Amino acid sequence: MIQRREFLGASGAMLALSLITPSAARSQPTGQPSPASSAKPPLLTLRETTIGQGSPKVIVPTTATHAAEVLKFVDKVAPSQDFHVLELRLDMLENALEASAMAALTHQVRARLGNKLLLLTFRTKDEGGKKAVSDEQYVQLYQQLLAEGTGDLLDIEMYRDRTKTDPLIALAHQRGFKVILSNHELKSTPAKEEIISRLREQQARGADILKLAAMPADAGDVLTLLTATWEMHQHYAQRPILTMSMGDLGVMTRMSGELTGSALTFAMVGEASASGQVALEDLSSVLGIVHQSMGS
């Protein structure tokens, strides 16, 4: 776990660096039209939470492998005021493909959360999750969760078979879920233009939140992601954005969203679900300092 003093000091350093990136983002590639700036920041309000306003809203994932452990974890963290969304990581569970059991679990979790939001995620092994599944298994699980379960948000991976996932997006909306279309680059960071292109594709396909995570090789990759996020937010976004650089190098992207336009971020309580996550208490402290210092 990052020590608080080191964490805060490193935060200030990266935020200072990230202030440089917007000026670089203003220059457009030769021959490309200059995009029009967004008239107002994209917002999404669910229950009592407005995503895209003020500090990034904090997501806490579950990492337990059994339903009883999940419920114990939810009972522990639900009273906290430091986070807004609980991510139920279904792929972490040993019986994750037992759809009826997963649907029943969503109701048990929902009953414990009050007005916090519930995000359902099956992260496949191809994108950093625990289990490899076929497109058919993936869609069938989600279809049954939408039919029998409950929740506020559903994470759908954008690079699963589109002929199956596009109807799934429509079904989620019919069932009252908002959709996060997600993409995880586990070995590299795409170029700025490619990051923006993928986020715009997610938006065009009907996502309610646009998500991209990438692994940096160096600090330059981190700044690339920050710049792409800022440019997407300023010029193209009609939906809230969630971006991050993974691993220790990318940790600062998890706290700079109020500057760059990334409207959500992840924190850990106990075990991390992905590399680079920061303890909830530390992240909440830094987000508060940034928000206060920016005068929002």
**pLDDT mean by block of 10 residues, the chain; 296 residues:** 42 43 38 52 95 96 97 97 97 97 98 97 96 96 98 98 97 98 97 98 98 97 98 97 96 95 94 74 94 82
Can you give the C-alpha Rg of the chain in angstroms? 18
CA pair distance 189, 135, nearest whole angstrom = 25
Element spanning 294, H or E = helix 280-294
Q: Which residues are catalytic?
A: 184, 211
Instruction: Please choose, from the candidates 239, 241, 284, 247, the residue with its C-alpha nearest in 3D space to the C-alpha of residue 259.
Output: 241
On the 0-12 / 13-18 / 19+ scale of CB atoms within 10 A, 151 is buried
Q: Which amino acid is at 217?
A: A
Instruction: Determine the pLDDT at residue 252.
Output: 94
Q: Under CATH, which number does the domain 42-294 receive?
A: 3.20.20.70
On the 0-12 / 13-18 / 19+ scale of CB atoms within 10 A, 143 is middle
Instruction: Determine the pLDDT at residue 271.
Output: 72
pTM of the predicted protein model: 0.87
Instruction: Determine the pLDDT at residue 41.
Output: 81
